[in-house]
Amino acid sequence: MLLVTGGAGFIGANFILDWLAASDEAIVNLDKLTYAGNLENLRPLDGDARHVFVQGDIGDRTLVDALLQRYRPRAVINFAAESHVDRSIHGPAEFIQTNVVGTFNLLESVRAHWAGLPADAQAAFRFLHISTDEVYGSLGPTDPPFSETTAYAPNSPYSASKAASDHLVRAYHHTYGLPVLTTNCSNNYGPLQFPEKLIPLVIHNALAGKPLPIYGDGSNVRDWLYVGDHCSAIRRVLEAGRVGETYNIGGRNEKTNLEVVHTLCAILDELHPGSPVTPHASLIAFVKDRPGHDRRYAIDATKIERELGWTPGETFETGIRRTVAWYLANADWVNHVTSGEYRRWVSQNYADTSV
């Protein structure tokens, strides 16, 4: 049995679906169901006894203690996080509460549970913390990619809160001996991603004939990782990662935001020529850059490749085509998640930002 936190979100849901497609080991899924947590992501598991869903907060010590005592998982995988930079700029308090205070409370519950296990179960237990490359800050055009030894230099409330959570996880290993693992991944994309992030936002707007907003001049660089590859890396780290170690996970796909958007437009021109406005690239609109926008991220994944034999299975070209095809085939999912809260967010985040 695994306890997965944040398992109704984008990466967590993909992980659970992939895990249960390949294994009969059950999962208890604890998710608060904030705006980006969506049980529709897990609809293929309706009626599947291997998936136990519990709505709740990782900061709720009473609830987490009860789940650990009842299910006695062999590992806890912590996906739960507020994860969007723009939202952290508008409202940083929620990010501190979930990513810092929530992780602290989760660690306290897990530490107490682990301390009470028999010696063999203690040795086998793992706490796997899912983090981000944004904790490392911003790279210059010729700087080497982030490695596991790169100094932390977070530049947004989001990345600062994730950096704090990473430090707490590390400290609980060195102080208390808790058997932890940490992964820092590059930008994920793929099915089930809430359309506040660049790729699903562009697909959603393009299909509706709406402007495709690009911050600044569009030259910000990200390393793109298909979510299925991220999930396979997490499984491998859980299986064979060295306790106390950090593993960077990246796709070796550095692209500017403008390159990504043009690629999406070209695929949509091919696969969906009946959109209200074509060619889709004619919808590109440059908007005022967000405060403190990091210029470049890149991941050196040598450590996980060398030590654990993991490599991504998708190129950017294959992964992005699969992603567009998924969104075209799942219009109902998109329509459901882009109501209410999503429209309020778009109105707030892109109001008066034209340049």
- At residue 354, the pLDDT reads 38
Question: How far lies 209's CA from each of 192, 238, 273, in Å?
Answer: 21, 43, 12
254-256 and 221-226 strand pairing: antiparallel
- At residue 348, the pLDDT reads 58
Instruction: Please write the tens of the pLDDT for every residue from 288-301.
Output: 998 889 999 999 99
Half-sphere exposure of residue 38: CA atoms within 13 angstroms, side-chain side: 22
- At residue 136, the pLDDT reads 98
Q: List, by residue number, the catalytic residues.
A: 133-134, 158
Q: Point out the residues of the chain with pLDDT beneath 70.
A: 340-355
- At residue 123, the pLDDT reads 98
- At residue 355, the pLDDT reads 33
- At residue 290, the pLDDT reads 84
Question: For the chain, how far is it from start to end, CA to CA, in angstroms?
Answer: 52
- At residue 336, the pLDDT reads 83
**What angle, 0 to 180 degrees and rounded to 10, lies between the N-to-C axes of helices 157-176 and 103-115?**
20
- At residue 85, the pLDDT reads 80
* Domains delineated in the chain: 2-191+227-250+297-313 (3.40.50.720)
